[in-house]
Amino acid sequence: MTWLVAGLGNPGERYARTRHNAGAMVADILAARAGGRFKKVRFLPLDVAEIRVGEDRVLLAKSHRYMNESGPTYAGYAKKQGVGADGLVAVHDEIELPFGSLKVKRGGSTAGHNGLNSLVQALRTPDFYRVRLGVGRPPGRGDPTDWVLQPFAKREQDELSILLEEAADAALTLIEAGLARAMDRHNRNASPG
């Protein structure tokens, strides 16, 4: 089977280490572990690295478009590669989960996440897999939009490294062993605040 892992994020160095780019960071980890190299896809604003997970072909993708308009890029590439919603894994930040939490699921609400909204609209279904990385809500009454575009704090770096590696493991478990096993093995809550 062919899988598409969409590492959601924003393009460019300015956003590379921000909360909104947690998904793209996980795609980088998966590529690095398997010795895959990202290459620009012809005629699409997309970088893709191809790896193998057991018998499966796995395409790791990062869009050159901003998060809120990246859905058509991923959907177009999925269609071109013959990947349906049942083979698509969106890896993304989630402010509704406390920092350090990790949840694997299929379908459901987007919780207002603009990258997911764009993907659902382009795919015409919400029924794809998600690996959700908790980045927490902004302190006080801070603006969530500004919050996700800020880099992770220095004090968060150690836990961030663990979270990103665990999310990469969760994506691999999902592909190799299915949703139930991935949820059982990797879903975890972090304490709020």
Residues designated catalytic: 20
45-82 pLDDT, tens digit per residue, is: 999 999 999 999 999 999 999 999 999 999 999 999 99
Within a 10 A sphere around the Cβ of 80, how many other Cβ atoms? 11
Within a 10 A sphere around the Cβ of 11, how many other Cβ atoms? 18
Class of residue 155 by CB neighbours under 10 A (exposed 0-12, middle 13-18, buried 19+): exposed
21-51 pLDDT, tens digit per residue, is: 999 999 999 999 999 999 999 999 999 999 9
3-state SS class at 134: strand
pLDDT at 113: 95
pLDDT at 190: 83
Helix axes 179-186, 157-177, angle to 10 degrees: 150
pTM of the complete model beyond 0.95: yes
Provide the CA 142 distance to its chain's centre, in angstroms.
Answer: 24
